[in-house]
Amino acid sequence: MADETLPAEQPSMLPALNVDGLPDAPRYAAESVTEVLPPVAYQGIGSLANTLTVEQEAVLDEALPDEEVDIRPDGLVYASHNYYRRKLNKVFGRFGWTLIPGSPLKPRADKSDAKQSEWYQRWVLFVTGVYVAEAIASRTLYEDNRQMSLDDVAEAIKSDALKRCCKDLGIAWECWDKRWAETWKRKHAVKVACRVWSRGQQMTRELWRRKDADPLEGELSSESKKAVGAAAEKAAKTPPQQPLPSEASAAAQPEPESAPRPAPAGAARGATINQGQVKLVLARGRAAGLISGNDPALLMDVLGRAGLALVEQEGKSAIDNCIATIGQIGMRELAAILKQIDAAKDKGEERI
């Protein structure tokens, strides 16, 4: 039988990897975020000073368009990371610039909260292979937030570092100028009242958004804001309530007959309930599991859905604010609200 000849091995189309050269490759990153970059990272620094064209200078000097600016709820104005990337592509070309990590992505060493951790990293901006700027950024990772993971934190850190590096090129410098930001806010932003949850209690806070943006979550209409202000003013004039009786004595109060559904906030309610009936509502709320200790957040949520304007007095406890809110209930609304409280109890038992 004739010997079979194996086919010759086809040559690879990929370039050969020089393994011996890898250990000597230059390193541009530091071992930690607090260390200075290796000297090789700064080679050629300043060599771009006389290489920018007149056209490139003009693009870098362009004013930040108003439509590219947005505002955070806390009032900080900013341009998106996409704007910075488009600007760099326009000036230097799509592959004329790059970001490289200047340190590993690491959490803060003195982490004390198991539910959250703060991560840091340095990024370095190179243009045509030459060092231009570097910046450190951080983000907090919340372990109980299922919509957030470490890759989201890493991406946000990179984008923040890019924005800070671009300050050295004069890109979107306006966002870092307080006077410019205040002028932009007067023209294009508005402060609105919103319902937010803080430490288990619903509060009203003023937050910022663009005038042409959709309403924020929990944003109140002008009518709702007037109702909240009127309720707060009424509560401030109400004399302090007497100490609460035991739940047993409060539960002994007779339950009013059936009444129509409560009117919306701001509508005329007629005579309001008396102090004994306020105590009855509190007792029924505790029996329904809507008050935990001194936290009536769940009961306040039921009262808000019933159409009451939730009272939030500065310096008052959550229970005091809850009592002031209950004091707005009209005599004709009491039975319907008690039914809603009992219904909330039934729903809780179904969930169990």
pLDDT of residue 162: 97
Shared domain for 139 and 272, answered yes or no, is: no
pLDDT of residue 178: 94
Residue type, 107: P
Of 281, 290, 263, the closest CA to residue 346 belongs to 290
* Helix ranges, the chain (H): 54-60, 81-92, 150-167, 178-188, 222-237, 247-251, 275-287, 297-305, 318-326, 334-351
Shared domain for 338 and 297, answered yes or no, is: yes
Q: Is residue 271 part of a domain?
A: yes
pLDDT of residue 268: 44
Q: The domain containing residue 69 runs over which residues?
A: 24-176
pLDDT of residue 180: 96
pLDDT of residue 273: 85
pLDDT tens, N- to C-terminus, the chain (352 residues): 445 554 554 554 555 545 454 445 568 899 989 899 999 999 888 888 888 999 999 999 999 999 999 999 999 999 999 999 999 999 999 999 999 999 999 998 776 677 889 999 999 999 999 999 999 999 999 888 888 899 999 999 999 999 999 999 999 999 999 999 999 999 999 999 998 877 667 788 899 999 999 999 889 875 455 555 555 555 555 555 555 544 444 444 444 444 444 444 444 445 788 888 888 888 888 888 888 877 888 888 888 888 888 888 777 788 888 888 888 888 888 888 888 888 876 555 443 3
Shared domain for 196 and 169, answered yes or no, is: no
pLDDT of residue 23: 47
Q: Is residue 5 part of a domain?
A: no
Shared domain for 153 and 192, answered yes or no, is: no
pLDDT of residue 291: 87
Domain total in the chain: 3
Shared domain for 208 and 334, answered yes or no, is: no
Q: Is residue 11 part of a domain?
A: no
pLDDT of residue 347: 59
DSSP per-residue string spanning 104-159: --EE-TT---TTEEEEEEEEEEEETTEEEEEEEEEEEEETT-TT--HHHHHHHHHH
Shared domain for 53 and 73, answered yes or no, is: yes
Shared domain for 93 and 209, answered yes or no, is: no
The CATH number linked to 82 is 3.30.390.80
Contact 253, 279 (CB under 8 A): yes
> What is the chain's Cα-based Rg?
31
User: Sign (positive/negative) of CA torsion 85, 88, 89, 90?
Assistant: positive
pLDDT of residue 81: 92
The three-state secondary structure class of 64 is coil
Shared domain for 34 and 157, answered yes or no, is: yes
Helices 297-305, 275-287: axis angle to 10 degrees equals: 110
Model pTM score: 0.57
Shared domain for 193 and 103, answered yes or no, is: no
Across the chain, how many H-helices and E-strands are there? 10, 8
Shared domain for 155 and 206, answered yes or no, is: no
